[in-house]
Structure 1
Amino acid sequence: MKETEYPGGSKSRVNRAGDAVRKGNASEGDLAAIEEWRAAHRAVLNTFQAILRIRLRGKNVVVAQRHKRKNTIFDKLQRLPKMQLARMDDVAGCRLIFRSIEEMHNFRDEFHKARFNHKMRNERDKYDYITRPKNTGYRGIHDVYEYDVNSEAGKGLKGLYIELQYRTLVHHAWATAVEVVGFITESQPKFEKGDDRYRLAMAYASEILARSHENLKGPFPDMSDRDLLAAFLEIDQDIFLMQTLRGLNQAKSSISDKKNNILIFSPDGELTVKSYRDATDALRDLFELEKDLPGHDIVLVRADSSEEVRTAFRNYFNDAREFVRLMDAGCAKLSGHVPKRIFRSRAKK
Structure 2
Amino acid sequence: MKYSRKQITKAGEKLLTSKSDIEIEEALNLINNWRANHLHPLVVLKNNLLRLLTKNNIQPNLVSQRLKRLTSIEYKLDLNPTMGLGGMQDIGGYRAVLKDVRDLKKLRDALSDQRTNHKLERIVDYVKNPKDTGYRSIHFVYKYSSVRDVFDGLKIELQIRTKLQHNWATAVETAGIITRTSLKSNQGPDEWLDFFKVVSSLFAIKEKLPVMEEHKDLTMEELMVKCYNYCQELNILKKLKAIRVSTNKIESDNFPGDYYLLNINITEMFVNIQIFNKNQFEDATKQYLNLEKSINENENAVVLVSATSIKTLKKAYPSYFLDTSEFIQAIEKMNSNCIEWKYI
Question: What range is the shorter-chain TM-score in?
Answer: 0.7 to 0.9
Q: TM-score, normalised by structure 2?
A: 0.88
Matched, 1:142 2:146: no
Spell out, residue by residue over 1:169-215, the C-alpha distance to the aligned partner (whole angstroms, 9 max, x if none). Answer: 00011111111111233233112222121111111111111113x12
Query: Match of 1:109?
Result: 109
Matched residues in 2 for 1:89 and 1:236: separation? Answer: 36
Instruction: Identify the match of residue 235 of structure 1 among 230, 234, 257.
Output: 230
Matched residues in 2 for 1:270 and 1:307: separation? Answer: 16
Spell out, residue by residue over 1:225-276, the C-alpha distance to the aligned partner (whole angstroms, 9 max, x if none). Answer: 1221222233222211122223444424426221210111124132111111
Query: Match of 1:187?
Result: 181
Aligned length: 327
Matched residues in 2 for 1:24 and 1:201: separation? Answer: 39
Matched residues in 1 for 2:257 and 2:221: separation? Answer: 48
Query: Match of 2:325?
Result: 321
The Cα of 1:67 is off from its aligned counterpart by 0.4
Instruction: Identify the match of residue 246 of structure 2 among 241, 247, 251.
Output: 251
Going from structure 1 to structure 2, the CA distance change for 1:35 and 1:250 (only over 3 Å counts) comes to closer
Query: Match of 2:47?
Result: 50
Spell out, residue by residue over 1:37-59, the C-alpha distance to the aligned partner (whole angstroms, 9 max, x if none). Answer: 11111111111112112222474
Matched residues in 2 for 1:319 and 1:294: separation? Answer: 22
Question: Is 1:142–1:163's contact at 8 Å kept on the other side of the alignment?
Answer: yes
Counterpart secondary structure, 2:125: coil
Matched residues in 2 for 1:272 and 1:222: separation? Answer: 47
Query: Match of 2:303?
Result: 299
Counterpart secondary structure, 1:121: strand
Query: Match of 2:209?
Result: 216
For structure 1, list consecutive stretches of 5 or more residues without a partner in the other structure: 344-349
Matched residues in 2 for 1:54 and 1:44: separation? Answer: 15
Counterpart secondary structure, 1:73: helix
Query: Match of 1:172?
Result: 166
Going from structure 1 to structure 2, the CA distance change for 1:205 and 1:102 (only over 3 Å counts) comes to same
Matched residues in 1 for 2:232 and 2:334: separation? Answer: 18
Counterpart secondary structure, 1:50: helix
Paired AA for residue 70 in structure 1: L
Matched residues in 1 for 2:181 and 2:234: separation? Answer: 12
Query: Match of 2:27?
Result: 30
Matches within 5 A, 1:272-291: 272-278=272-278, 279-291=281-293
State the identity as a percent. Answer: 29
Matched residues in 2 for 1:24 and 1:311: separation? Answer: 39
Matched residues in 1 for 2:228 and 2:234: separation? Answer: 10
Matches within 5 A, 1:10-25: 10-25=4-19
Question: Is 2:63–2:97's contact at 8 Å kept on the other side of the alignment?
Answer: yes
Question: Is 2:224–2:334's contact at 8 Å kept on the other side of the alignment?
Answer: no
Question: Is 2:63–2:96's contact at 8 Å kept on the other side of the alignment?
Answer: yes
Question: Is 2:93–2:157's contact at 8 Å kept on the other side of the alignment?
Answer: yes
Paired AA for residue 217 in structure 1: P
The more displaced of 296-305 and 52-61 is 52-61
Matched, 1:69 2:69: yes
For structure 2, list consecutive stretches of 5 or more residues without a partner in the other structure: none
Query: Match of 1:346?
Result: none
Query: Match of 2:89?
Result: 89
Spell out, residue by residue over 1:298-325, the C-alpha distance to the aligned partner (whole angstroms, 9 max, x if none). Answer: 0011022332211110011121110011
Matched residues in 2 for 1:115 and 1:293: separation? Answer: 43
Counterpart secondary structure, 2:150: helix
Going from structure 1 to structure 2, the CA distance change for 1:52 and 1:338 (only over 3 Å counts) comes to farther
Question: Is 1:208–1:327's contact at 8 Å kept on the other side of the alignment?
Answer: no
